[in-house]
Structure formats: C-alpha cells, structure tokens
Structure 1
C-alpha cells in the first residue's frame, strides 16, 4: 500500500523521458522474431514487453505471460504459425478469465490447431504450430483490435498472406493502422479498403533499425497532472506530432481541459492555460479506450462532468475497468453511473480525502488516480502494479514534487 500525499508543489515543471510505446514495442518484437535482421531502439521497459520478449526468445513448452493481454493475443497467432512448435500458452488467474475464442476461431479458419486446456474460449490453450496456406478469414470488427493485429502481424510470413474481412463496426482503428504502418515500414504490402484488410506475403525484409516512439498512454497521466495543477510546464520526450498511436488524441482532448501542447523536435511541452473556462465533456472514445480512466479522474479533479462512450472493450481488460471506476470514484464522493460501453460523471466540487483506491491488478487504475494527489491526500493500493507498462512512474512523479510514503519514501 502506498500513501500518495497531496504535493506541496502545485506549480509543476519537469522534463520527463518516457520509454517506448508498449503497443509499438510488442508489435515490433513479434516482427523481429519473424525477421531477425530488424534492430529495435527505445523499446518499452514494461513488464508486458519483457514477458513478450522472453516468450519469443525461449523454448519452453509452457509459456506463462502472467497479466500481459497483448502478449496473449499476439503469441497465440505467432505460435499457431510456428511450424513444428507445440506450446501451452497460459497466464494469471485474471488472464484465464479473458476471452480468446474469437481469435482462436479466426486462426482455425486458416488451419491452425488450437485446443483449450480448461474452459472453452479461455486460456490456457495448447497450440500446435502449422504451415498455413489458407489466406481468407473473417472476424467480428467490434472485438479488441489486438485480435485483428495478431492476425496481421503474422500474415506476411504465411505462404499466401491474409485477406481479412472485418464484420460489423470496427473498433480501435488507430491500433489497426499502427500495425499496418509498421508492416509498411518493412516494405510489406498492405491495403485497408472498407472492411477488408489484405497483407501480402514477404519471406525476407531488408535489415533495418526501427526506433519506437515513446508511449502516449503513459503520457496521459502528465496531461492529467497539467490540467489539475495550479500552473504547469511539463516536457515529455520522445514524441512525434504525427504519431501512429491513437492515444495521441490526448492533445485535442486535453485542450478541452485547459492544457495546450507544443511540439519542438521530438519533445512535447504541456502548459496549463490560465483563466480557462471549463465545461462538461462529451467524448466518443471508441478509438482510444485506454485513456478513459485518466480522463474521468481528471474531470473529477476539475469539478466537471463527462459522458464517455465507446468503452465496451474496457470490460475485458486487466479488470472490468468500467465497474472498477464506478466503485473507486464513488468512494471519492463522485456521482457516477456506467453501462456496458459508457459512463456518466456528474460534476462535483468536493472530493473525499485519504481514500484507499483499489487497483485490481490494473496498472492504469493506479496511474489514473495518482494525479488526484494534487487535490487531496490519496492512498493507492498495490502501487507497484504500474510496472506492467510504466515501471518508472513513481520516480517520475517524484520529480514533480509528489511525496509517496511507505513502500517508497520520497521527499
């Protein structure tokens, strides 16, 4: 348990170096396993990426990816096409509650051999790697984009590539486009026309150094801090004004919460606007669900309401994030309601202090609530869970003047 006290430093100034995007890193690690002459720089130091790298480089029959959802999806596809290799892919108890059936069925359409070790539709799964020659496959479009990206990432190594039809309304398009852009960077031909994605086969790629952009999801907590501070000038490296990451939408979203963003080379500087007039937010986050927790907590801290939609994928994350938000925000005195794909926060001017926030083994719960330390003393349970995506989070918060007691003692 960590006590995150209200910082005495309400005027925030710092230069923060955030490591590479977990989303980009995990995609590139898989591509590097397929094409070993790729070299990667500025990769994520997150637990998820370390688990992914270990699984790809090892020869174990049982591959345990713990809480790493991205690794579960990507490795399911990777091992399915890894001819002659047989593995059991498993994870934490929570991971064994997260569905995998949609991806398994898509791979089975292509000829993969996958069976369930326990409950049908859920890990652990036994995968017998096959040579895949079929290339036409369909998948529901409103599922996690990681299912879709998993298929696309292994596609160029298949004999005939993939022609993937997305059925229904597409979710998280930026993440699909990120995957395709990384393939294109390796001169792998792709197309995305209406609801059909095609990836052409490519046996070999030219040697290339690929530098991972810093993680925009991790940057979201500093947007929140800038919004909640009295004054703020927070610079973050290394970020691109034209990013592959969907969460770069933060720039436009936080304009509505009084934060301006200025790019200078590979650095972005966040500045709190003085005398900003706040209004309730109405946002559709179908393409950027991972920043929903940060946004709603920021709104609570600012004393404004919000209506966030497009959140159906949050129910199958590390926890049911919508229900977790409802429970924890209610402890803080919020008036919040949730459905299967949305939440409504009613504006309130008071926040209960010294509340213990449960994190549900979810890194984003810990980090999303931490900026409230600018408003009230707050307790973050199981704070070390941040290592899943951002191991340096508490150290970087210290550089902004926060004091974290018990497990860490910062002054």
Structure 2
C-alpha cells in the first residue's frame, strides 16, 4: 500500500491510547507458557505479539514467525527445553539473513540439541527439545540483548537455575533489566550484578499473578517527534498530545525519550498513567544533538528524522545492532534522508546528519524496506510537505493503529495504490 500523507493544520492536539509494549508482551507470553497461572492485561496488538502468541499455542512441527525477530530469539530458547518435541523454527527471507549463532552456541553449551537447516549461524533451525544439563554459560556482552533475555527467561525452569557471564561492554542494559524486573514480578529470584546474571530455579506450579503491560515507548517516540517538529510552525497554536498508558518509572529503555526530547523542546507530564507532551516553543534548539543510543537503539530512526525536520545536525553512536534489524537501518536512513535533501553519513555503528540548509523535498516516496519503524519515523515530516510512504501496512508489526491515530491529529491520507 502506497500512502500519501500531509497535515496542514497549525495546531496539534489530541489523546491517543497505545497498546502494550511489544517487548514486555513477548517476554510475558513466554513466561506465561512456562509458568501456569499468569494473566496478562493490555497485551500488544502488534503482528509480533500475535505471532508469538500463536507460536506458543501451536502444536505444529514447523513454526513460521515471519519478520518477528524477538519471537525467533525467545522461541529458540523455549523450544530447546520442550523435552521430546521436535520443532522447525523458520521465518521470512530477511529473518533467514539475521544471525542467531551466538544464541544457538550458548544453548548448545547448556545441552540443547539445535541444528541449522540451511546456512550455518542463521535460521531456519531444527530444535529437538531436551533437558538442559548445565547451568552456566558465557557470551559476549555487546550482542543483541534478546539473546541474553532469551536465556534469562528459561533460566528459572532449569534444575539448578542459570548463571550467565557477560564478556566485554554490556549494551542494551535496559532490556536486560526489563527481563529481570518481570522475573521479579513473578517472585523469581534473579540478580544482575557486574558482568553476571544469576537466575534461581523456580517451581512450575500455579502463580496466580496478573500483570498489566505498559504501553509501548517506541510507539510514543513518533508523538515526541510530531510535537518537536511543531517548532517550525511559527504561527502554530499550542501543541499538546496525551498518550496512555505510561509510567514515569518505566521498565522500558526507550523511556529515555522523555529526557532526550527536552533538548528538542518537548516537555513530559505524567498523571494517572497518562503522558501529556507539550511544546516549549521558546526552547532554543541545539546546533547538534549528540547521543549514545547503545541502550535504546530502536529510537534512532525517530531521532534522526526529528533532527532532519528541525534542520539541526545530529551525531548518534551505539547503533551497531541496527545492522541486523528488519533491514540495515543505518543504510536505509541514509538512503531516505538523502532522497529528501539531507546530508548524512553512516558507519557500521554511527550516524552523522549535517544541518539542513535547503527545503525538504516534496512528494518523495519513502521506501520502508519491510521495516515498521522506517514508515512511522518518517511520517511526522508530513507536517511540512506531502510525503508518500511505501508499504504503509508494515506498521502492523508493532503498531497496527498508527495511521488511524494520525488521522485523529489531522493528517490527511490518500491511498495511491
């Protein structure tokens, strides 16, 4: 679906309900499958959440998780401990290009029986469920936190629990802490100190716990971007968007948005799990926004597009994991921002955007590369110029209601084909 969007309004106000965090949802769904008696409220309605739920309920031998990277990592660990069950875990063409060897090696070192169906180190996988005999594993600390979380989630089911030793600088710490806190909510004894994560064994009986999933902070990022971009509407009326449900003491690493966007003139106000974003029109914007996003790489696209729209430079680092997402997000950003008239350079782990001195090009078609975040990160530029989003339906991966919610904020939308 090719979608043309534009918003010519001089004001931006509204209230939007965003469903549960995809990251929290997928962790809790796995824990729910392992420990009976867990009820989950405000589940994510994303494709990834639905695929995770469907996979865990399926008794089929072949499980296809399409583009769902989190599901691939978590389910690899889950099916590895399903004693006596054989599972072929596969996904889309892009998923079969995304490495999983580090997790497979870690699980094998614990006693898992996993074989590659095609290329060594990549899905699809043939997993023969078995009892894991060891309780200690070591892996590099700068890998995707999903590998580490996958091991943490099954750790309490092992007879002697699990000790994970991390080597080197640890990245994406908030996602590890999120997994840790969710284990704590289920009264599982677990710790993360220095380079060591320890998970104590837990009984697999009835827990009788109800956990409410906080709304997704990654999805909130697009509204932070919209409010920040209203800086460039000199004749605009007050800007205020309320989104829910959010906590000031969030488990999600992307909650750092509230701090980051104060630099771009957005204030955050929490009240009764509602988060109200307001524009501080008098805020002086920085010439260059410099950030290390090692702990929150998923918001890099939103921030880069925000800075491009505002006409300011940005230097973003800590982005090495973006090379192996739904697409190579760094190269994708470079291609699409250049298309709009930007001057941008990327390496394998950094992004450097120069100050924009020319107008944004109108009616450009933004390629999304099967990546939901590309579609949503560029959409706010419709405040300035008409813009076309290719494969707009890709947002269903994490935020199916995105385009409808934009309509409530005055965005005109036309399906081209």
TM-score (normalised: structure 2): 0.97
For 1:10 and 1:323, locate their aligned partners in 2 and report how far apart those are by CA, in whole Å. Answer: 33
Displacement of 1:2 in angstroms is 3.0
Please point out which of 302, 314, 331 is paired with 2:310.
Answer: 302
CA contact (8 A) 1:78 1:154 kept: yes
Partner of 1:260, secondary structure, is: strand
Please point out which of 253, 278, 285 is paired with 2:260.
Answer: 253
For 2:283 and 2:126, locate their aligned partners in 1 and report how far apart those are by CA, in whole Å. Answer: 55
Please point out which of 326, 346, 366 is paired with 1:338.
Answer: 346
For 1:307 and 1:340, locate their aligned partners in 2 and report how far apart those are by CA, in whole Å. Answer: 14
Please point out which of 326, 335, 348 is paired with 1:327.
Answer: 335
CA contact (8 A) 1:357 1:380 kept: yes
CA contact (8 A) 1:22 1:46 kept: yes
Displacement of 1:54 in angstroms is 0.4
For 2:416 and 2:356, locate their aligned partners in 1 and report how far apart those are by CA, in whole Å. Answer: 32
Aligned to 1:12: 12
Displacement of 1:6 in angstroms is 2.5
Aligned to 1:34: 34
Aligned to 2:219: 218
- Structure 2 alignment gaps of length 5 or more: none
Deviation readout 1:24-76 (Å, 9 max, x if unpaired): 00000000000121000000000000000000011010000000000000000
CA contact (8 A) 1:235 1:268 kept: yes
Quote the RMSD (CA, aligned, Å). 1.0
TM-score (normalised: structure 1): 0.98
Displacement of 1:206 in angstroms is 2.2
Partner of 2:338, secondary structure, is: helix
Please point out which of 370, 385, 388 is paired with 2:394.
Answer: 385
Aligned residues, how many? 408
Aligned to 2:125: 125
- Structure 1 alignment gaps of length 5 or more: none
Partner of 2:299, secondary structure, is: helix
Aligned to 1:395: 404
CA contact (8 A) 2:137 2:163 kept: yes
Displacement of 1:407 in angstroms is 6.1
Aligned to 1:183: 183
CA contact (8 A) 2:221 2:299 kept: yes
Aligned to 2:371: 362
For 2:10 and 2:68, locate their aligned partners in 1 and report how far apart those are by CA, in whole Å. Answer: 35
Structure-to-structure mapping, 1:274-313, within 5 angstroms: 274-279=281-286, 280-313=288-321
For 2:406 and 2:9, locate their aligned partners in 1 and report how far apart those are by CA, in whole Å. Answer: 11
Structure-to-structure mapping, 1:173-212, within 5 angstroms: 173-204=173-204, 206-212=207-213
Moved over 6 A (4+): none
Displacement of 1:315 in angstroms is 0.2
Displacement of 1:274 in angstroms is 1.4
